[in-house]
Amino acid sequence: GQNIDQPTEMTATEGAIVQINCTYQTSGFNGLFWYQQHAGEAPTFLSYNVLDGLEEKGRFSSFLSRSKGYSYLLLKELQMKDSASYLCAVRDYPSYKLSFGAGTTVTVRA
C-alpha cells in the first residue's frame, strides 16, 4: 500500500507563494495527483505528474521526483479563494487504487 505524508496546515499572505510538500511510499506507481477541496465540497482536480519534473498550470505548478518519492505543489500569487485543503494522492499500479494523504489546510490572510 501507500504511505503518504503532507503537512497539516500552512498559512500565507495574499500575493505570496506557498509550497506544499508530499512524500510517499508505494509498491507500484501510476501517477501522483493534487486535488483542491473546499470545506464540505468534493475534491477538484488540480494537476498530475507521472514523469519526473515540473508541470505548470497557470498559478499552480507541481513537481515530482519518483526516485525520492517526493512531490510538491506550488501556489503562486495567492488569492483569498485559494484558502482550502490540498490533497496529495498516489495511484497504484496495477490496481488503479488512488490513496490520499490527510490533506494540507492552506489559509490565505490579507
The phi and psi torsions of 2 (rounded to 5 degrees) equal: -110, 150
Q: CB-wise, 43 or 69, nearer to other proteins?
A: 43
CB of 33 to other proteins, least distance (A): 6
For other proteins, the binding residues (CB under 8 A) are: 1, 30-31, 33, 40-45, 48, 50, 87, 89, 91, 96-103
**What single letter denotes the amino acid at residue 77?**
E
Q: CB-wise, 15 or 98, nearer to other proteins?
A: 98
Contact 24/3 with Cβ under 8 angstroms?
yes
Q: CB-wise, 14 or 65, nearer to other proteins?
A: 65
Residue 12 φ/ψ region, left for φ over 0, alpha for ψ in the -120 to 50 degree band, beta for the rest? beta
CA nearest to 87, candidates 109, 71, 110: 71
CB of 47 to other proteins, least distance (A): 9
Helices (H), the chain: none
CB of 52 to other proteins, least distance (A): 14
